A and B are shown apart, each in its own frame.
Chain A
Amino acid sequence: MGRRRAAIVGAGHTRFGALAEGPRALLRTAISGAFASVDKGLAPSDVREAYVGTLGFSGWQLGNVSAVVAEEAGLVSAPVTRVENACASAGFALRDAVRAIESDATDVALVVGLEKMTDPTPTRRRYWLGVSGDTEWERLAGLTFAGVYALLASRHQHEYGTSREALAEVAVKNHAHAVANPNAQFRKPVTVEQVLASPRVADPLRLLDCCPVSDGAVALVLAGEDRARAYTDTPVYVAATGAGSDYLAVQERPSLTSLAATRWAAEEAFRRSGLERRQISFAEVHDCFTIAELLALEDLGFAAPGEAAALTHSGATRLGGAFPVNPDGGLKAKGHPIGATGASQAYEVFQQLRQAAGARQVRGAERALTHNVGGSGASATVTIFSVA
């Protein structure tokens, strides 16, 4: 192909959850952790470009948050660009960094994802939880994202007979995975019965079908493949990225059982990488709600339309199964600090492909895919990583 690949050479991750630390402290923890994780050392001055994904939840520093990142990273004077695509902000920030490296615009780039969601009052929090949906037609029809995904779930149930239990099995699996993730917000298993007995949120979705409100930050250090070995002997290469967008409001999309942005992103990523689905060892998919993981598996091509529930039920997507999905617990149990999630998925891939994921290690993992969705599918990125 000729173009230079990008590789992750370092990654840092705060705990996810309701944290006492403020946004600046979270940034420092993640970024210093990423710098410190570079095996052969990294001088901050090597970083010539940085991208930060954040929604700006709660209005804390809505504009120019890039300068804050530069301050906390010790990168004042380096250009920092803020990327906002709702829950896919860091996925797109990562894509920008990869493309900057692929195009030789920079040799080393920093990707940061940040959200501090538990600071505001519960009322303000509920206000912020819906700002990325279609304001005029969805939000002001009374829907937050739980409601929008609930509509999609109702249609999936109607067309494919997807059962309430099938949705719960996604939550059960991802909670089980999160037990082994020290950064996860919920490190406790749940049962199907507990999911079904949890409070209603938006039918058919219940509280344990939904990802939590989370604080957290993640940082990734990327380098051109020609420079990567100067930083580590075990870089994780970005084989390809793909991205897509769709109509903002679900009412304007032709399909109610599929997110087209995911399909288009996956199509691009697989085409550019030259890889097949069967070559992917595991996936980190955007399971903001249990229905979202089923949609993701179908739209990414790992399950036929309507078949993701059966795939999940078979155990294939569990750790130890043929194709583990969300070994870190996913958004569902690890937590979902909106702007950080896309980077957190790549962090997990970095650990897994370096065989450093400990008790949640996917054995023999060589290639992995991350899938990051903005809102109810208005935007999506798919990134494929490889150890070689």
Chain B
Amino acid sequence: MARAIVAGTAYRSRWRTGALEVEGPDEDPVTIAAELLEALVDRPGGAAGPVVALDLVGRYNAEAEAALPELLGVPHVAVRHHGEGPGALAAALALASRAPSDGRALVAVVDPSTPATAHPESGAGGVAFEIAEGVGLSVLEHGGRRHAAHHPPDAEAWCRAATASTGLASPSSALALQLVAREAPPVLLSAWRRQQPEASAETSPAAPVGLGAAPTVPTALGLRRLVERLGPGGEGILATVGVEATHFLGVRLGGPVAWNGAWEPVAPPTLLRDARSEPDLATAVSEGAYVPRPRYLENLPARWRFEGERCSRCASVTFPPRGLCRRCRAVDGLTRVALPRDGTVVAATVVAPGAQPTEFDPLVSESGGYGVVLLELSEGVRVTLPVADAPGEAPPIGATVTTRLRRLYPMDGEWRYGRKVLARRP
């Protein structure tokens, strides 16, 4: 039986706040990447040591990005950064496809760099795929070609390069055209149609997946559109035309795709649009409620993936890990264990504006009050977590909820991350 590949997409609308564009009060490319990777790693059989290629387009928070492997707890991880967006997906897919493994790999690309515009799909997003020979998405070839800055490539030369680079010239191949250079779309699309006249019908798999004049659409969306157009066994080209270069990625889809996560533009809460003033991270000093950086890093496994310690003597789990069994005080025979990422609410409150600790002032100025719950992850193991997705609400006691990595608070010039509860998603 053919196995479906699993693919995830995460998407957040963007809005501008002062000089900075953000995805949400507590979301950014790091948290989107984490969500994507967890979606793949968490699926049945998914955590058995896949190779992960994580590509964040542009540096957002280098330290946190570098810590994402910690979140995953997988043995081989490559984190790459690309200064220019269009080639990132191709590079990441190629990296994953060449990784030494049992033929499986995960790849995630997160694109935080698209500017905010009026385009309805303007946003930050990412896509994650399992690459698996025969059933997954195979990378046929990829390549690139530089052209004069801010000048679209010669249309005919561009088509020749695309087909030559990828080896996909047949009418049955589809094209997803991701155009970053604003001038290019109509010219290149019509050139492609001229080259493959049979592919003119919109319903044909060979018809170009028109991403339109959408210079702001995240690269990842192009791949998703392409895969949705391709049937099993189909082949296609994802082409991205950047300011200075064009990239081509030829792929073959081995089997059906089971999407994990939607790509639905969600309008940001209007009240947030102009209210936020980004804290000056370089000078913001948090007095007293201070977690020095080494202690934050020490707590990452507990904060990011709910890692606890199981005692081999009495079998109880201590969370967060202290190098000591809470129950029998054993210091030997403690094993790190990943606790579930979801749990049951055992106590809940909503903190009203004005009652928040000062570290949460930026969050409150954006979205008002927030929920905080005490979540029971397993028998007697509890953690106190803010609610991420429902301003002014908390799930009721007894509710089963899941959690996601989100931004927690700024300190010492950086955003600190930790898990929060999703109240509205099962």
Contacts and interface: CB of A to CB of B under 8 A. Distances in A.
B352 interface: yes
Given A142-B357, A158-B397, A202-B355, A130 B386 contact: no
A151 B372 CA distance: 8
A151 B374 CA distance: 7
Given A140-B409, A141-B384, A147 B347 contact: no
A49 B359 CA distance: 40
A256 B347 contact: yes
A236 interface: no
A143 B347 contact: no
Contacts of A150: 349, 351
Contact of A141 (B290, B355, B386): B386
Contact of B347 (A154, A199, A201): A154
Q: Is the interface of B mostly helix, strand, loop or mixed?
A: mixed
Nearest to B318: A252
B295 interface: yes
A200 B357 contact: no
B299 interface: yes
Interface in B256-286: 286
A279 interface: no
Given A127-B287, A251-B374, A143 B358 contact: no
B349 A126 contact: no
B397 A155 contact: yes
A152 interface: yes
Interface string A186-221: 000000000000011111110000000000000000
A142 B352 contact: no
Contacts of A136: 291, 295, 299
B384 A144 contact: no
Interface in B312-359: 320, 326, 346-352, 354-359
Given A126-B356, A127-B288, A203-B394, A142 B383 contact: no
Interface residues of B, number: 44
A152 B363 CA distance: 24
B381 to A, nearest CB: 9
B46 to A, nearest CB: 29
A302 interface: no
B290 A135 contact: yes
A154 B349 contact: yes
Contacts of A202: 349-352, 355
Contact of B351 (A59, A137, A147, A256): A147
Interface in B347-391: 347-352, 354-361, 363, 369-370, 372-374, 380, 382-386
Interface in B383-413: 383-386, 394, 397-398, 408-409
Given A127-B287, A203-B350, A256-B374, A249 B357 contact: no
Contacts of A129: 357
A199 B358 CA distance: 19
A139 interface: yes
Interface of A: 59, 123-124, 126-131, 135-144, 146-147, 150-155, 158, 199-205, 249-252, 254, 256
8 contacts: A59-B287, A128-B288, A140-B409, A142-B363, A144-B357, A146-B351, A249-B384, A251-B374
